[in-house]
Homo-oligomer: A and B are copies of this chain.
Amino acid sequence: MGMKPIAAWVLALSLVSASPVTAQQAPASAAETDPVKLGWMQGTPPPEKQIRFSDGSFLHFPKNRWSFAHYRELFPTARIGRGKGPVVPLPRALRADLATLSFTPDGETKPRNWVETFDATYGDAIVVLHRGKIVFERYNGVMNADQPHIGFSLTKSFYGTLTEMMIAEGAIDEAKTVAQYLPELAQSGFGDAAVRQLLDMTTSLDYNEDAADADAQMAKFMLASGGYPRPKDYAGPANTFELLKTVKKVAPHGERFDYQSVDTEVLGFIIARVSGKPAEKVLEERIWARLGAENDANITLDEAGASRSTGGMSATARDLARFGEMIRRGGRWGGQQIVPAPVIAKIRQGGNKQDFARAIWDYNTRRGWSYKSQWWHTHNANGAFMGIGMYGQAIYIDPKAEMVIVRFNSGPVGSTVGMDHITMPMFQALADRLGGGR
């Protein structure tokens, strides 16, 4: 099979794109696509309106408004267990004044109510913490406080943080190359990439995340890793690791930021190789099971049983908020130092702005930002930094406002860049209100 047919087939699935989507016509509204009202997967068996993995329908908008909350029911997954300790409570101190807060999206002139905007932009769940207390919480459609939602690339921030912990302990050397940890990848484009370059995504690979590209490397990755259903005549790599072996280098590493999910897959394999355990098990032991989470998380697996470090993790909004709050507090949470304070301090320094400004993609909504340790750094006045996952998933940490926001979304647009003009001023308005005290 040539590359064009794969790309065409994948595009036919309305795949995600890292580039802004220009809709041919306005997509159906959030209200029109509420998955409960639409009746997806209702009845057993659903007499109609079924959503399946095998036909790719789980990726289609508006079906993704159901499937993003049901990844475990569509994919093989590994448990990321909450452990057996007590839940670390998130006290509630709801702020009624937030419901009427308005903000003005970039490029617009009139203020909008932020809750209505959250709903209208296909928001599935949002939890806002201020000083560790829940000041706002909302669930739409099929979501509720105990329902895990796919986080997509929020997963990266977990693995990035975990890698930094292992670097701090000396278990991983950030200056060492991929070939030193994973000799099987020595001949690939990753061979001479340093761990640090993977963490900060400054590798230069013949890989991109643009589904509109005829080469469709992202599609090839997703087919290899089991993220998309395979055509019957699929003859590509059998799993993620086999795909990684085929990725080529196009320029010296370390010269500029280039967002490439495969970097995080390699990090996951390095964590596993160094620890002698599956990466998600290390994540469970070192972070998730120590958060006092209310629920297990889970992560999708490829055909060889490897977890999708780049984007396979599902969890509840509250539990991601616990993670974000732990990070905000310098790694200390529930009476334990979960991530060493120097590790958090290192992450919070942010990355190299020049590398970021040289990115292949023009992140015109993210000028002045940087990327470090699998976190996006806004370098705004509040020092906010984020995990970002496609379709609008977010963990937003605002140190100055003492605020953490977790947002889950589903909708017609995979690109988060295309949502920045709404997301960033919305989050800033919340920070301004909360940071101002009352």
Contact = CB atoms under 8 A, between A and B. Distances in A.
A54 B303 contact: yes
A335 to B, nearest CB: 21
A426 interface: no
B77 A45 contact: no
B78 A45 contact: no
Interface residues of A, number: 43
Contact of A53 (B277, B278, B303): B303
A38 interface: no
A273 interface: yes
A74 to B, nearest CB: 5
A272 interface: yes
Nearest to A42: B276
Contacts of A75: 76
A232 interface: yes
A187 to B, nearest CB: 16
A90 interface: no
Nearest to A87: B84
Given A73-B301, A232-B232, A296-B296, A44 B306 contact: yes
A39 to B, nearest CB: 13
A45 B76 contact: no
Contact of A304 (B46, B70, B239, B269): B46
A279 B72 contact: no
A45 B304 contact: yes
B78 A44 contact: no
Nearest to A44: B272
A172 interface: no
Contacts of A79: 72
Interface string A226-246: 000000100000011100000
A20 interface: no
A306 B349 CA distance: 48
A306 B272 contact: no
A389 B178 CA distance: 46
A45 B296 contact: no
A230 to B, nearest CB: 9
A50 interface: yes
Given A74-B76, A76-B74, A45 B301 contact: no
Interface in A311-338: none
Contacts of A184: 47
Interface string A253-283: 0000000000000001100110001110000
A46 B242 CA distance: 11
A54 B52 CA distance: 17
A98 interface: no
A51 to B, nearest CB: 8
Contacts of A241: 45
Contacts of A272: 43-44
B45 A305 contact: yes
A11 interface: no
A77 B314 CA distance: 14
Contacts of A303: 52-54
Given A46-B304, A241-B45, A305-B50, A76 B78 contact: no
A166 interface: no
A81 B79 CA distance: 13
Give the 4 A-B residue pairs with the shortest CB-CB distance, closest first. A44-B272, A45-B241, A45-B304, A45-B306
7 contacts: A45-B306, A50-B304, A54-B303, A72-B77, A72-B78, A73-B78, A77-B77
Given A50-B305, A51-B305, A232-B232, 20 more contacts: A43-B273, A44-B268, A44-B269, A44-B277, A44-B278, A45-B239, A45-B240, A45-B241, A45-B305, A46-B304, A70-B305, A72-B76, A72-B77, A73-B76, A73-B78, A73-B305, A74-B76, A75-B76, A76-B77, A84-B87
